[in-house]
């Protein structure tokens, strides 16, 4: 399979049998996707002034702060569980391409937003953060205690400010539409890795009923949905802004 086909395989690949997937992780991703669509719909409506929405209101302010950890936590879980089920060495080979693919699409997002919204372009958004976290977390593949402790330490330091840390990006005067810093979000990713085996012991018995298998299908296509949903939503909102 060519490199181009591999990069875009998730866009046209057949859906896997939902019974072979971990429903708990699919549920987390599904929830993140739904909340993401809601947030970006509100953001676009506000951006194009179709509807007067105060994006600094508590609901809209905290919504992305729920979406991001859901994506990162579930990504951390998936990373470690794949290593456990497939073997660390085999999974590391897959992981390298996975990181490259996410970084490739992150770069496309940066390029597209720089052309369309130069004042608010995305230079380090959700995909950039996931790719970077995956690269760092690859040092802990197959382990649970080490990433869990490190992840908790990062979160503890963030909330208690034990060791003061200033994000170097704070000095850059760019108001990005989507900036997700490694600190403290790497901690959430590592906690997902560390808790993966423990949580699966509790949730592995929960299978996806046939009536809800569409949740697993949507979760399988989380990357294409992430990449394409904004194009779809913004196109509709932009059309509405011309007639309203």
pTM: 0.90
pLDDT of residue 19: 59
In this structure, what are the phi and psi dihedrals at residue 55, rounded to the nearest 5 degrees?
-70, -5
Count Cβ atoms within 10 A of the Cβ of residue 106 and give its class: 0-12 exposed, 13-18 middle, 19 or more buried. buried
> What is the C-alpha to C-alpha distance for residues 178 and 124, in angstroms, rounded to an integer?
7
Residue 124 to residue 96: CA distance in whole angstroms? 20
- Position 201 scores a pLDDT of 75
**pLDDT tens, N- to C-terminus, the chain (244 residues):** 567 677 676 777 776 665 567 888 999 999 999 999 999 999 999 988 899 999 999 999 999 999 999 999 999 999 888 777 666 556 677 788 889 999 999 999 999 999 988 888 999 999 999 999 999 999 998 889 999 999 999 999 999 989 988 777 766 667 888 899 999 999 999 999 999 888 877 766 666 677 778 888 889 899 999 999 999 999 999 999 888 7
Give Rg (Cα) of the chain.
Answer: 19
Would you list the domain boundaries of the chain?
Answer: 29-236
């Amino acid at each position: 399979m060519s490199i181009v086909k591999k990069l875009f395989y998730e866009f046209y690949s057949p859906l896997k049998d939902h019974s072979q997937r971990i429903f708990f992780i699919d549920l987390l991703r599904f929830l993140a996707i739904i909340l993401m669509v809601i947030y970006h719909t509100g953001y676009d409506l506000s951006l194009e002034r179709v509807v007067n929405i105060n994006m600094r209101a508590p609901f809209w302010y905290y919504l992305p702060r729920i979406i991001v950890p859901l994506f990162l936590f579930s990504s951390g879980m998936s990373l470690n569980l794949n290593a456990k089920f497939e073997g660390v060495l085999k999974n590391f080979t897959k992981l390298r391409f996975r990181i490259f693919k996410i970084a490739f699409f992150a770069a496309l997002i940066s390029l597209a937003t720089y052309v369309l919204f130069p004042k608010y372009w995305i230079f380090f958004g959700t995909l950039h953060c996931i790719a970077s976290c995956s690269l760092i977390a690859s040092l802990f593949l197959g382990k649970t205690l080490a990433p869990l402790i490190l992840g908790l330490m990062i979160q503890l330091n963030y909330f208690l400010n034990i060791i003061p840390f200033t994000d170097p990006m704070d000095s850059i005067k760019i108001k990005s539409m989507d900036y997700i810093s490694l600190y403290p979000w790497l901690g959430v990713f590592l906690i997902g890795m560390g808790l993966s085996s423990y949580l699966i012991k509790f949730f592995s018995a929960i299978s996806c009923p046939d009536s809800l298998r569409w949740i697993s299908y949507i979760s399988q296509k989380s990357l294409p949905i992430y990449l394409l949903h904004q194009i779809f939503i913004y196109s509709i909102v932009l059309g509405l802004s011309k007639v309203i």
